[in-house]
Amino acid sequence: MADKISILDMATFCKKKGLVYPSGEIYGGLAGFWDFGPLGVEFKNNIKKEWWKFHVQSREDIVGIDGSIITNPNVWKASGHIDNFSDVYVRCKECKKDNKLDKNEIGKVKCECGGEYDVVGDLNLMFKTNVGPVEGNVSYLRPETAQLMFADFRLVAENARMKLPFGIAQIGKAFRNEISPRDFLFRSREFEQMEIEYFVHPDKIKKCPYIKDVLDYEINVLSAELQKKDKDAVKMTMKKALEKKIIKTEWHAYWLATEHKWFVDLGANPDNFRIRQHVAEELSHYALDTWDLDYKFPFGWKELQGMANRTDFDLQQHIKVSKTDLSLFDNDSNKKVVPHVVAEPSQGVERAMLVFLFDAYNYDKKRGNIVLKLHSKLAPVKIGIFPLATKLKDNGRKIYDLLKNDFMCQFDTAGSVGKRYARSDEIGIPFCVTFDFDSLKDKQVTIRSRDTTKQIRVKIKELKDILRKLLDGEKLEGFGKIITSKSS
């Protein structure tokens, strides 16, 4: 089991290792904004790449778009964000700290210090901006990536020749003027989302053709009913959750299990997750039923991903406000239909980063250093290359040149090899290659595994292939299979 450190310690670790810094720190930073350092940008790109591969490139039923951040403000009028996207702004009577509450929490939730809250007012969370030179030509930085997937829906469906059910996916920045950004990357004002709007024929919202893939999949389930009784989540299969009508539609069960699996397959610990149904008072203005995928952060169970049943709310709103027909002709039923979005997996990239970091973070007492057991697909650097003496620097560089176009490599010549291994463990490099004096004679190098510290000697001409196999998780004789945080 990984050692959970506090969110503050994680922020310190991330800064030290070049993952994440407070934005513009030399000027004191700006609350809720973060810069990603040399390792952070690699790590974040790897997460996005894996998400895109899994959700878009390996599926025939989902295509991607990249919508703009600022768009016609009527998009936000139609979606309800101009009128409804607000939080209740409260201030603690005792410690004077600002916070945000959901409407149903007023009078029930107290400040961390125990003080009662005063309601200051409602705050719309969208950042306003002026477009062009004429004052008053207002638009907004998008608060979610979802809306252009609705506004562009008909065009995408037609030019990608999609047939229901199908999805549109997008990864990109979102901005929310959060009242109280906190917990490092967990709640920031600028963040990225990875979202899918999955469109289903309105007469077929109960049946999911892929449900068989997940029926036996087990997750900790916290229904609205269990929350009312103050009970904990119960582990059950998706089959049972559907039979007991805890999850109402097969689509919701399918996407919840699929999203959970995405995390687990990339090394996250399944026991740190649960799915939680929103209680009636929490539901957003557009949602019929919402489930969150929650993660056990050091500061408690929190939402990692939201999955709302948005019905046909968004498409109908855009049809009404834009006066454009966004229905599709359905050949099977021989009629025009406005599809429903039964489940909309919506994931913050930075919250995913935190999950993978927390589950990968281990302090190894024997080694005396941190070992970041990130899945090899997510590790920012895949291979460390160490010549064992100054005289061997040029030979080591040749190994680096051999590998650099295939893998993200780091060439490190500074300090003892022990120090170099420790440094590479701390940033999660899965394999290190050392070039020693014997390598000059036998044309072989040593590969060392981050997770097991086991070493094997391999021929330089076979090195690239062997590393590729190891990074793909293959077990090689005499050498430990790469261990992900899940199995540690």
Judged by the rule CB under 6 A, the positions of this chain that interact with ligand ATP are: 144, 176, 178, 187-188, 191, 193, 303-306, 346-348, 350-351
- Which of 304/342 has CB closer to ligand ATP? 304
- Which of 19/458 has CB closer to ligand ATP? 19
In whole angstroms, the minimum distance from the beta carbon of 193 to ligand ATP comes to 5
Q: Where does 201-321 show beta strands of DSSP type E?
A: 218-222, 234-237, 273-277, 289-297, 300-309
d(CA 4, CA 224): 28
In this structure, what token pair is assigned to residue 176? 């929310």
- Which of 108/366 has CB closer to ligand ATP? 108
- Which of 85/421 has CB closer to ligand ATP? 85
- Which of 191/358 has CB closer to ligand ATP? 191
CB crowding 312-336: b at 16 or more within 10 Å, else e:
bbbbebbbeeeeeebbbebeeeeee
In whole angstroms, the minimum distance from the beta carbon of 188 to ligand ATP comes to 4
In whole angstroms, the minimum distance from the beta carbon of 50 to ligand ATP comes to 16
User: Which amino acid makes up residue 227?
Assistant: Q
d(CA 420, CA 318): 57
In whole angstroms, the minimum distance from the beta carbon of 174 to ligand ATP comes to 7
In whole angstroms, the minimum distance from the beta carbon of 102 to ligand ATP comes to 8
In whole angstroms, the minimum distance from the beta carbon of 179 to ligand ATP comes to 10
Q: Where does 95-165 show beta strands of DSSP type E?
A: 98-101, 117-124, 128-130, 138-140
Contact partners, residue 240, CB within 8 Å, separation at least 6: none
In whole angstroms, the minimum distance from the beta carbon of 446 to ligand ATP comes to 41
Three-class DSSP category at 480: coil
Contact partners, residue 60, CB within 8 Å, separation at least 6: none
| DSSP-assigned states of every residue in 395-407 | HHHHHHHHHTTTS
Residue, CB closest to ligand ATP: 348
In this structure, what token pair is assigned to residue 212? 């068989």
- Which of 185/385 has CB closer to ligand ATP? 185
- Which of 348/384 has CB closer to ligand ATP? 348
In this structure, what token pair is assigned to residue 302? 């929190």
- Which of 355/371 has CB closer to ligand ATP? 355
d(CA 123, CA 126): 9
In whole angstroms, the minimum distance from the beta carbon of 304 to ligand ATP comes to 6
d(CA 387, CA 437): 9
- Which of 153/191 has CB closer to ligand ATP? 191
Q: Count CB neighbours of 240 within 10 A.
A: 16
| Sole residue written with tokens 């004002």 | 189
In whole angstroms, the minimum distance from the beta carbon of 472 to ligand ATP comes to 29
| Sole residue written with tokens 């690699």 | 42
Task: Identify whether the C-beta of residue 345 lies closer than 8 Å to the C-beta of residue 259.
Answer: yes
Task: Identify whether the C-beta of residue 395 lies closer than 8 Å to the C-beta of residue 440.
Answer: yes
In this structure, what token pair is assigned to residue 407? 């893998």
In whole angstroms, the minimum distance from the beta carbon of 186 to ligand ATP comes to 6
- Which of 167/430 has CB closer to ligand ATP? 167
